[in-house]
Amino acid sequence: MERIAFKMKLKSGFKQEYIKRHKKIWPEIVELIKKAGVGDYSIFLDEETNILFGVQKQSGGISSQELGHVEIQQKWWDYMSDIMEVNPDNSPVTTFLEEVFYLK
């Protein structure tokens, strides 16, 4: 199982809304992510920069950020687009990060 990390950006002032929406994440999104082989998925927030830092394990060779070809994922991105920095298709602006150290 591969571990990957990435960052996204939350718009200023939307921390509580982001948390609220993820506490009520759509079951279809959870199912899609799990079926893609993604698990052990966490998102952290750096409040000084509003950077969201995601870490996940994947066994299907695809991250949660690469599921934009699925309609329900597109709808989730549309739903989140008002509180995050997004691309023209409303997918979150995502930067994948290189792992430079890991202590197991």
Q: Which residues are the active-site residues?
A: 22
Contacts (Cβ under 8 Å, ≥6 apart) of 90: 74, 77, 78, 80, 81
Give CA torsion, residues 56, 61, 67, 70, to 10 deg.
Answer: -130
Sheet with strand 2-9: strands edge to edge:
38-46, 51-58, 2-9, 95-97
